Structure 1
């Protein structure tokens, strides 16, 4: 049975991944809160990715999969963004992620072949107004993931999922009424926004052995937004 560590798994995409994996893997969730995980067959580790150091004594010696879920969505005109906002977005999306990976690298290396799954954004590959801060942070993740995959192949696989707008608590302010939800759905060629389950299905695939020949890839799970021009 594989040991899977989710950084952030109490709600949203991480929670959906935990639901998918809880009976076929030993799932560890490191997150600030754990109220929503009471109904899951998981082990919870109190952890704030923005401030804490991960306590590896609570983890198994072998970790077969890591998913880093914490992120941010700061959308505003560039001229109104302070440098501190860019720094905060880089910290939670990128630097905290690096710290986690370096901390558990021995555990990942102890697996026959471990898998790291990271999250980017469609905004990292498309020029989208008001996305400068999040695009910068997520773009860093994509470049880092390819370099890390090359450095640790074949022992550790590294892949990135780049979604468009997904219905999670993080995106609630963009989907908190019917008008916003309808407009958001219409922006996508597949005429709906994403769900946590959409992303969880891709993440669980990248964690299991069915994807053992896949590494260094960016997967756009975005309703066709990044590649399809419909009625344009």
Structure 2
């Protein structure tokens, strides 16, 4: 069976996506930095896996080689949350956000492209943006720049790779994951941010995974070039005054 390659599977959203894809009967190859987490998840899902730190661009070729050919899909569930006012941002902050979010996504797709094109049906690539690209939030300059680049990449690749490969992105709002713990660890702060969303709560990884599984599956075969918000309404709705 053709596999779906899931980057960031040792993170909260990546692991939830892997479980949702498995529930749809898809075969998986997982990648992430934590061997302990990946090994346990791979055992649960009968998946293969590669432990890698994609801060090293050379790792993409190894990950794809271990995933095998062909690939039915690629999910790049890798992200950062750098929240600093512009005056405090360093060159290193901005480069790290760009390299992990945007350039990392491009390099992952580049390395996997022959395997994706070898799929028996149109393959699916899923990347990740952020509600902060659509909405202007203070102290989000670095991550908004990086995720804005991801949105440009989605549209460029969707045009370039059609019809053999579909390319889409999900743009979440704040989701309860280990990465977001500095914002969600305080229940008082989490509750205040939750009330900024029309649905009155923060996201959970399963909210993101449900749409991700659809976008990777053939059921979304006529969807490409889209950035879809899973954000409790925050990108579009104002319910308080």
* TM-score for both structures, normalised by structure 1: 0.96
Distance 1:53 1:171 in 2: 26
What residue is the counterpart of 1:14 in the other structure? 14
Specify which of 50, 62, 85 is matched with residue 55 of structure 2: 50
Distance 2:96 2:186 in 1: 28
What residue is the counterpart of 1:60 in the other structure? 68
What are the equivalent positions in structure 2 for 1:92-131 lying under 5 Å apart?
92-111=100-119, 112-131=121-140
* Local SS of the residue matching 2:111: helix
More deviation in 16-25 or 153-162? 16-25
CA contact (8 A) 1:49 1:70 kept: no
Distance 1:57 1:2 in 2: 14
Question: 1:157-211: CA deviations, max 9, x gaps?
Answer: 0001000000111101100022012112111111001110000001000011110
- Choose between structure 1 and 2: higher helix proportion: 2
* Local SS of the residue matching 1:184: helix
What residue is the counterpart of 1:36 in the other structure? 37
Once the 2 structures are TM-superposed, how far is the Cα of residue 91 of structure 1 from its aligned partner?
0.7
Specify which of 203, 207, 216 is matched with residue 216 of structure 2: 207
What are the equivalent positions in structure 2 for 1:146-225 lying under 5 Å apart?
146-225=155-234
Structure 1 regions of 5+ residues with no counterpart?
A: none
Structure 2 regions of 5+ residues with no counterpart?
A: none
CA contact (8 A) 1:22 1:42 kept: no
CA contact (8 A) 2:126 2:215 kept: yes
Once the 2 structures are TM-superposed, how far is the Cα of residue 34 of structure 1 from its aligned partner?
3.0
* TM-score for both structures, normalised by structure 2: 0.93
Distance 2:31 2:139 in 1: 31
TM-align CA RMSD: 1.2
* Local SS of the residue matching 2:6: strand
Distance 2:26 2:48 in 1: 11
Once the 2 structures are TM-superposed, how far is the Cα of residue 57 of structure 1 from its aligned partner?
2.9
Runs of 4+ in 1 over 4 A off after TM superposition: none
CA contact (8 A) 2:106 2:153 kept: no
Between the two proteins, the alignment pairs up a number of residues equal to 232
